[in-house]
Amino acid sequence: MRAMVLKELKGPLELRDVPKPKPGMGQLLVRVSACAVCRTDIHVVDGELPNPKLPLVLGHQIVGQIEEIGGENSNFAIGDRVGIPWLGWTDGDCSYCRSGRENLCDNARFTGYTIDGGYAEFTVADARYCFHLPERYGDVEVAPLLCAGLIGYRSYRKTGDARRLGIYGFGNAAHLIAQIAIYEERELFAFTRPGDKATQQAARELGAVWAGGSDEMPPEKLDSAIIFASVGTLVPTALRAIAKGGIVVCGGIHMSDIPSFPYVDLWEERVITSVANLTRQDGDEFFKIAPRVPVRTQTETFALEQANTALDLFRAGKLSATAVLTIAK
């Protein structure tokens, strides 16, 4: 089978013929039809995340069809459509797993990072971590929900019952989560790169009550804010924009350093938290609510062989929608 393989950090992906994987016990062999590109893929290539598997097949927003099942499986059948997310395996046994926090598992493995992912014609995945996907979505349009949607949703839930919700960095995840926030009647304040009038306009059209640059203060204090941009200076900025008791959620896997700030900005029970990975329960909840909203994705497709182009355009901020690799049969 063909796969786009990362041989060494910072190198381009190489199109290679590699042996078709075999499903082990409890694993699914999946013929990939679509795999969305995530900012995390860039962090992995650029060496900003420690110890990726090398050589590596990237990709953790995978949609495909089950061709083979290793052993018995009651949850999936051959021919089923399946979604494969970032969380690929946990030990089920550490203190985090046993307390409903498998996203923090000490021994977790991640798709497209420490397990081969979906920039390929086939992949194998542990059936226990795969999702059935809502029928209303096509393969390409549902793919971005598997990470930007899911982990965005976990970030959103961490903001509690915030009525006035700020979102810093209005990219893919923000676009998806904003739709849920508006559906749940939150007031949305969108912060973009200073001067990015087009994105501010898009946020208003989506239903934001206010949109401006990340260097601006909102017209009123926010109850909570999510930062999706990987820009550490936004943490003290967002802290200054939230009211007493507010929460700043850092939704990305990697962020540049956070500058120091006066304690008074954190005082009065303001909270800073990050969001790591996802639990299967996040997925179950999210795939119930997404089709009800319905959350709509915007995608731009690339052939598997064009994965480097998709990553380069993403890195340069030149994508206008989520890049999705489509894999021809």
Distance (Å, rounded) from C-alpha 329 to C-alpha 322?
A: 22
Choose which of 147, 162, 206, 247 interacts with Zn ion (CB under 5 A). Answer: 147
Q: CB under 8 Å to 260, separation ≥6 — which residues?
A: none
For position 277 contacting Zn ion by CB under 5 A, the verdict is no
Q: Is the dihedral of CA 204, 192, 37, 104 positive or negative?
A: negative
The window from 33-41, 64-72, 241-249, 280-288 that contacts Zn ion (CB under 5 A) reads 33-41
As measured in angstroms, the least distance from the Cβ of 206 to Zn ion is 21
* Closer residue to Zn ion (CB): 142 or 242: 142
Q: What sign does the CA torsion over 214, 179, 111, 31 have?
A: negative
Interacting stretch for Zn ion, rule CB under 5 A, among 51-59, 90-98, 124-132, 161-169? 90-98
Q: Which residue, 172 or 237, has its beta carbon nearer to Zn ion?
A: 172
Instruction: Give the nearer residue to Zn ion in terms of CB position, either 222 or 226.
Output: 226
When binding is defined by CB under 5 A, the residue of 1, 15, 18, 94 that contacts Zn ion is 94
Residue 297 sits in the site that holds Zn ion (CB under 5 A): no
Distance CA 89, CA 129 (A): 7
Of 90, 277, 297, 326, which one interacts with Zn ion (CB under 5 A)? 90
* Residue number, 75 or 107, with CB nearest to Zn ion: 107
Q: Give the range of 32-40, 186-194, 217-225, 278-286 binding Zn ion by CB under 5 A.
A: 32-40
58 sits near Zn ion (criterion: CB under 5 A): no
Residue 97 Cβ vs Zn ion, minimum distance, rounded to whole Å: 3
User: CA 97 from chain center: how many Å?
Assistant: 21
Residue of 40, 103, 155, 192 that binds Zn ion (CB under 5 A): 40
Task: Note whether 10 and 47 are within 8 A (CB).
Answer: yes
Single out the segment in contact with Zn ion by CB under 5 A; choices: 31-39, 47-55, 126-134, 315-323. 31-39
91: contact with Zn ion by CB under 5 A: yes
Per the structure block, which two tokens stand in for 233? 């200076």
Q: Give just the sign of the alpha carbon dihedral 170, 203, 196, 213.
A: negative
Supply the minimum distance, in Å, between the C-beta of residue 106 and Zn ion.
Answer: 5
Contacts of 32 (CB under 8 A, 6+ apart): 62, 63, 64, 118, 120, 121, 122, 123, 327
> Do 194 and 215 form a contact (C-beta atoms < 8 A)?
yes
Using CB under 5 A, which of 34, 38, 290, 323 touches Zn ion? 38
Cis omega (within 30 of 0) for bond into 55: yes
Q: Shortest Cβ distance from residue 100 to Zn ion (Å)? A: 11
- Report the length, in residues, of the chain: 329
Distance of CA 128 to the CA centre of its chain: 19
Q: Is 230 in the site for Zn ion (CB under 5 A)?
A: no
Positions touching Zn ion (CB under 5 A) are: 38, 40, 90-91, 94, 97, 105, 147
